[in-house]
Amino acid sequence: MIPYGRQSINDDDIAAVVASLKSDWLTTGPLVTEFESALQQVVGAPCISVSSGTAALHCAYAAIDLGPGDEVITPPITFIATQATAALFGATIIFTDIQPDTGNIDPQRVAAAITPRTKAIVAVDYAGHPADLDELRAIADRHGIFLIEDAAHSIGSTYKGRPVGSIADITTFSFFPTKNFTTGEGGAVASNNPELLERAKRFSRQGLVRNLDEFKITDQGLWHQEVHEFGLNYRLPDVLCALGISQIKRLQTFKAQRREVFENYCEVLNTIPELLLPTKRVYVDPMWHLFPIRVPARYRREVFDKLRKDGFNVQVNYLPANRHPVFAGQGYKASDTPESLRFYDQEISLPMMANPEILSTNFFGEIQNCLRLAMKKEL
Ligand SMILES: Cc1ncc(COP(=O)(O)O)c(C=O)c1O
């Protein structure tokens, strides 16, 4: 089976992890700060590292003090962590439909969904293609609300020449093995707003206050630390930061390799007229996390099954989040966001990774052939 995504680990990555295991610090040590500095160089904003992309989203919502009565506007085409971490704070999730070509949240629909209770717009950079950040930024600024970008797919992408991470009020990343680079499990929160980043950091480190000037209990010794708001332990250990520091040095190579896979797919699949290939806006330079194709819905299942049978471990990204029973049980209807439903019914994610060695010399020809046969059979 050709996996749909796979990490690329080389000898330098392994040596970096081994060295960290031999050091004094397995966690809370100097590699955490070093990794966060390396991240800042790439994303154009100060960062904190956390234990997953889900943790990063949870911290982002904690940073904006999300709570019951607040509404967050989100797209259905995403991994449900985008919504789950907001729902856990008691916020109301507002599903807003996508643009049919990019799969990203549609700014016009976002503008129409704003109410006095809206606290944040959450964009997801589907497949690595940045959302319409300028339009969303303008809506957020007009209403004095936050723009959060779930960039689990898009570290390394740029929007109008600016890196993903430098535009939204808070941007979150994931370093799961299929992502653009990996720490095994891991994630990060980026923000150019120091207050928001400090709140996210505090939430990720048990809510502990260590700054003398902020203490409410003032008669204690040097050991003292105290909690003003609850937090959790979402720290990323030094061992995984060591892997991150080594991997992030390879980010541009990974980006070029993913671009090459993308271009090869476009070249061979352009010849099959029934297929819809991913769109790229001229002003973005995506780091492609997925290669999502769309086939007519009536035979998506057959095409999917044939690809799997022929050894391509394809996936579908994603079941619209409002269709999950946890939301359906609360009265949400996927039919309220018909573009998302249509997108889901047609979508198949082909293998996408930065490991040219996994793809045989005939890989693109074989997948073209498999798709052509599957489509012909059904036409
Ligand atoms: C869009 C999106 N958001 C959030 C996450 C959560 O990231 P993690 O798996 O690192 O918790 C993912 C991961 O699959 C994702 O694809």
Cα dist from 1 to 119, 313, 319, whole Å:
44, 6, 23
Nearest residue to 286 (alpha-carbon basis) of 129, 88, 76, 51 = 129
Between the CA of 150 and the centroid of ligand 1 the distance, in Å, is 8
Residues whose CB is less than 8 angstroms from the CB of residue 199 and which lie 6 or more positions away in sequence, other chains included = 62, 63, 65
pLDDT digits (tens, 9 = 90+) for 42-56: 999 999 999 999 999
Between the CA of 355 and the centroid of ligand 1 the distance, in Å, is 21
pLDDT digits (tens, 9 = 90+) for 67-82: 999 999 999 999 999 9
Using a 6 Å cutoff on CB, does residue 126 contact ligand 1? no
Using a 6 Å cutoff on CB, does residue 82 contact ligand 1? yes
Q: Which of 54, 154, 180 to mutate to test the pocket of ligand 1 (most atoms within 8 A of CB)?
A: 54
Between the CA of 212 and the centroid of ligand 1 the distance, in Å, is 36
Query: Residue 378 pLDDT > 80, yes or no?
Result: no
Which residue has the CA at smallest separation from atom 16 of ligand 1? 79
- Identify the pLDDT of residue 93: 98
**Rounded average pLDDT over 312-337:** 97
Between the CA of 13 and the centroid of ligand 1 the distance, in Å, is 23
212 pLDDT band, cuts 50/70/90, is very high
Nearest residue to 277 (alpha-carbon basis) of 287, 359, 301, 267 = 267
Query: Residue 140 pLDDT > 80, yes or no?
Result: yes
Q: What percent of the chain has pLDDT over 70?
A: 99
358 pLDDT band, cuts 50/70/90, is confident
CA distance 248 to 174: 13
CA distance 29 to 162: 31
Query: Residue 379 pLDDT > 80, yes or no?
Result: no
Using a 6 Å cutoff on CB, does residue 80 contact ligand 1? no
